[in-house]
Structure 1
Amino acid sequence: MVTSRFYFVLLVCILSAFTSGLTFGFSSATTLQIYFNTIWAAVFGSLLNVGGVIGSLLSTWLICHYGHRRTLFLSYSLSILGWVLLFFSSPAVYEQYSPTVQFMLGRLLTGIGCGLTLTTNVIYVYEIIPSSSKVLMGSLFQVGITCGIVADYTLAIFLNWDVISLVCALAVSFVAFLTYMLPESSEWCVKMGNLQSAEASHYWLYGSEIPFKEDGNNLIINGNVSHDLSNLSTKSYTGSSYVLIDSTSKLRTIFILMTLQQLTGMNVIIYFAESICLYGGLVSYQCGSNMGLCLFISSIVSVFVVRKFSWKKLLQVGAVILALCHLWFSLTVLESNFMDVKMYSEYR
Structure 2
Amino acid sequence: MAENASFREDAEEGSSNSRKPFLHTGSWYRMGSRQGSLMDRLGSSSAQVLRDSSISVVFCTLVAALGPIQFGFTCGYSSPTQDDIIADLGLSISEFSFFGSLSNVGAMVGAIASGQIAEYIGRKGSLMIASIPNIIGWLIISFAKDSSFLYMGRLLEGFGVGVISFVVPVYIAEIAPQNMRGALGSVNQLSVTIGLMLAYLFGLFVHWRTLAVLGILPCTILIPGLFFIPESPRWLAKMGLMEDFETSLQVLRGFETDISVEVNEIKRSVGTTTRRSAVRFADLKRRQYWFPLMIGIGLLVLQQFSGINGVLFYASNIFKAAGISSSNVATFSLGAIQVVATAVTTWLLDKAGRRLLLIISTSAITLSLLVVAVAFYLKVTISEDSRLYPFLSILSLMGLVAFVIAFSLGLGAIPWIIMSEILPVNIKGLAGSVATLANWLTSWVVTMTANLLLSWSSGGTFTLYTIVSAFTVLFVVKFVPETKGRTLEEIQWSFR
- TM-score, with structure 2 as normaliser: 0.59
Equivalent in the alignment of 1:339: 384
Query: Cα 1:312–1:272, aligned 2, differ >3 Å: closer, same or farther?
Result: closer
The 5-angstrom pairing of residues 241-320 of structure 1 reads 246-281=288-323, 282-306=325-349, 307-308=351-352, 310-320=356-366
Conservation of the 8 A alpha-carbon contact between 2:110 and 2:162: yes
What amino acid maps onto 1:308 in structure 2? A
Q: Are residue 106 (structure 1) and residue 153 (structure 2) matched? A: yes
Report the secondary structure of 1:32's partner residue.
Answer: helix
Number of the residue aligned with 1:12: 63
**Superposition map of 1:12-161 within 5 A:** 12-35=63-86, 36-89=91-144, 92-93=145-146, 100-161=147-208
- Structure 2 counterparts to residues 215-226 of structure 1, below 5 A: 221-225=262-266, 226=268
Distance 1:201 1:253, change over 3 A: closer
Distance change >3 Å, CA 321–CA 304, structure 1 → 2? farther
* Residue aligned with 2:85, SS: coil
Deviation at 1:179, TM superposition (A): 1.7
Q: Is the 1:199–1:211 Cα contact (8 Å) retained in structure 2?
A: no
Moved more, 63-72 or 184-193: 184-193
Q: Is the 8 A contact 2:172 2:185 kept in 1?
A: no
Matches of 2:348 and 2:221, distance apart in 1: 32
Shift of residue 47, structure 1, vs aligned partner:
0.7
- The 3 A distance-change label for structure 1 pair 193 and 209 is farther
CA distance in 2, matches of 1:302, 1:145: 14
- The answer to whether the aligner puts 1:187 opposite 2:237 as a matched pair is no
What 5-or-longer segments of structure 2 have no aligned partner? 1-51, 387-496
**Percent of paired sites with the same residue:** 23
Structure 2 distance, partners of 1:177, 1:330, is 48
In 2 relative to 1, CA 128–338 (structure 1 residues): closer, same or farther, beyond 3 Å? Answer: same
Q: Assess, with a 3 A threshold, how the Cα gap between structure 1 residues 319 and 107 changes in structure 2: closer, same or farther.
A: same
Q: For residues 24-46 of structure 1, what are the alpha-carbon distances to aligned partners after superposition, in whole Å with 9 as ceiling and x for unaligned? A: 11111221211142321331122
Could you say if the C-alpha distance between residues 262 and 8 of structure 1 is closer, same or farther in structure 2, counting changes exceeding 3 Å?
closer
Seen in structure 2, the aligned counterparts of structure 1 residues 190 and 255 have a Cα distance that, compared at 3 Å, is closer
- Equivalent position of 1:346 in the other structure: none
Provide the C-alpha distance between the structure 2 equivalents of 1:198 and 1:47, rounded to a whole number of angstroms: 38
Q: How many residues were matched structurally?
A: 323
Tell me the amino acid that sits aligned with residue 245 of structure 2.
Answer: A
- 8 Å Cα contact 1:280-1:332 kept in structure 2: no
Alpha-carbon deviation of 1:135? 1.7
Distance 1:12 1:247 in 2: 31
2:175 counterpart letter in structure 1? I
Residue 58 of structure 1 aligns to which amino acid in structure 2? A
5+ unaligned residues in a row in structure 1: which ranges? 94-99, 214-219, 342-348
Q: Which moved more, 1:139-148 or 1:246-255?
A: 246-255
Larger deviation, residues 256-265 vs 221-230: 221-230
Counterpart-to-counterpart distance in 2, 1:262 and 1:338: 34
C-alpha deviation, 1:123, in angstroms: 1.2
Q: CA deviation at 1:245?
A: 7.9
Match of 2:448 in 1: none
Answer yes or no: is 1:324 the counterpart of 2:379. Answer: no
Mapped contact 1:279–1:333 kept (Cα < 8 A): no
**1:301–1:210 Cα change, 3 Å:** closer
Q: Is the 8 A contact 2:134 2:157 kept in 1?
A: yes
Aligned equivalents of 1:18, 1:2: Cα separation in 2? 25
CA, structure 1 residues 221+258, in 2 after alignment: closer, same or farther (shift >3 Å)? closer
Q: Which moved more, 1:29-38 or 1:146-155?
A: 29-38
Q: Which amino acid aligns with 1:73?
A: M
